[in-house]
Structure 1
């Protein structure tokens, strides 16, 4: 039995899912994998079912009826993990932009070094991205700067989605009050963990642009992230004042 679960949300990742799953299972210490599939029309779920025959009791899947957003998929995965005995729970993309070799660094940061959240960061040591269009690099980098300026969150890569959470962090967060469903979900979860006093460590990793399949990024995703952050910060201030007045 592994103490670590890697959650991989998928929508039309038929070209990537076998590669990423096989790579994760090649690592030591061993990880379990939960694929959360949003009813992919390309047959991603069917391929995962075949892979489960090879990785019995290691590879699991949640089939959701429709695509409702990255945050909703991860919350479903978190709830599944917390119903079981995993102590370290990871977020990871299916498109190989996150290097499976870096899972060990994130795992050790939490288990051995005592941090509560380990963030695979593109920006803790310069800008570590490969094959990204310049426009996307600039947008991502300045979005993270904006988040730090507005919220005070001491994380240089606030929008990163390659993360290890200790079980206690996710148990402390009320998922019913999560505001965002897109990529801003990544910011919100880090922000809530930080407000609750959990220790966050950024670990330098290299991100690589996907080679197969279609990116899920669009302007509405960034609009949610940019315009919703201010609301999130204001709500945190208002809620704290309410608490202090009681």
Structure 2
């Protein structure tokens, strides 16, 4: 997989800063909305858009935004669509090379509330990673999801907790912030999952290494532009992957 960035990570200094990694595939309608909204939340926040050669021109839109916010918006162009997990890992590597202290996962479709970013950053002063949770306690804070999708997500988190022992209310959520030390401690090459299972695996590996976490309640709002990337293959992968993670841990091969 070839990659091309509009700026070299090696020439940047992210010391004391947070990099929000936003993977994109056909998100040209949403990107111009989310980028200024995220940047306005905190002056220490920069953005890396990781675009998988979107046929709708999202990559070109991202380049335009990078020109409009020089030094704060960066773009990593990838030659093809390999999935959410690989896009995030490419973004993590870029951010670590650039020296960012914190790296945050965030969807491009405005489903994750940017208002939570300052809360995440503040929480990361006391813990190693922060989880934006839709299911803290007995509360479910999801807006405009069909019941079937909600049940898959909610019971998917319960299933992951039950099999792996991961003590997280929202194991499948994709709005998370990690201190760079957490990601540096992982062998990112060993993570081959996407979708729900990628989010489960990332949290599980961090937890098993002894890193401390905090769940912060968020309200998740379903996208109003573009199409969801959810598929049956993502669900099937998550079903068997949690068993594989548990087995790897039991055999000390995690």
Per the normalisation by structure 2, the TM-score is 0.92
Give me the whole-angstrom Cα distance separating, in 2, the residues matched to 1:232 and 1:85: 30
Where does residue 193 of structure 2 map in the other structure? 180
Q: Which residue of 1 aligns with 2:204?
A: 191
Query: How far did residue 22 of structure 1 move?
Result: 1.0
Task: Quote the Cα distance in structure 1 between the aligned partners of 2:89 and 2:42.
Answer: 26
Q: Name which of 112, 115, 123 aligns with 2:135.
A: 123
Q: Which moved more, 1:5-14 or 1:117-126?
A: 117-126
Indicate if the aligned counterparts of 2:107 and 2:174 stay in contact, CA closer than 8 A: yes
Task: Tell me by how many angstroms 1:29 deviates.
Answer: 3.8
Between 46-55 and 186-195, the greater mean CA deviation after superposition: 46-55
Q: Structure 2: how far apart are the matches of 1:154 and 1:31?
A: 29
- Out of 48, 51, 75, which is 2:89 matched to? 75
TM-score calculated relative to the size of structure 1? 0.94
2:230 is matched with 217
User: Are 2:63 and 1:58 equivalent residues in the alignment?
Assistant: no
- What secondary structure is seen at the aligned counterpart in 2 of 1:14? coil
Q: Report the alpha carbon displacement of residue 227 of structure 1 after superposing the two structures with TM.
A: 1.5
C-alpha distance in structure 1 between counterparts of 2:67 and 2:97, whole Å: 23
**1:176 CA drift (Å):** 1.2
Q: By how many angstroms is 1:84 displaced? A: 1.4
Q: Does 1:93 align with 2:129?
A: no
Residue 131 of structure 1: CA displacement? 0.5
Which runs of no fewer than 5 residues in structure 2 stay unpaired?
A: 1-13
Looking at structure 2, the residues matched to 50 and 177 of structure 1 have their Cα atoms a distance apart, in angstroms, of 34
| 1:7 to 2:21 alignment | yes
User: Is the 1:110–1:118 contact (alpha carbons within 8 Å) kept by the matching residues of 2?
Assistant: yes
| 8 A Cα contact 2:194 2:234, kept in partner | no
Contact 1:117 1:200 in 2 (8 A): yes
SS in 1 for 2:124: helix
Residue aligned with 1:165, SS: strand
26-35 vs 165-174, which deviates more? 26-35
Q: Residues 110 and 133 from structure 1, CA distance in 2 versus in 1: closer, same or farther, beyond 3 angstroms?
A: same
> Does the CA-based 8 Å contact 1:70-1:183 persist in structure 2?
no
Structure 1 residue aligned with 2:240, among 221, 227, 241?
227
Residues 38-78 of structure 1: CA distance to partner in whole angstroms, max 9, x if unpaired? 00000001011111121001100100011001110000000
Distance 1:182 1:28 in 2: 28
Computed over aligned residues only, the root mean square deviation of the Cα atoms, in angstroms, reads 1.2
Distance in 1 of aligned mates of 2:90 and 2:192: 15
Q: Quote how far apart the aligned CAs of 1:104 are.
A: 1.0
Is this contact kept in 1: 2:66–2:73, CA < 8 A?
yes
Runs of 4+ in 1 over 2 A off after TM superposition: none
Give the counterpart of 1:134 among 133, 144, 147: 147
User: In 2, distance between residues paired with 1:84 and 1:48?
Assistant: 19
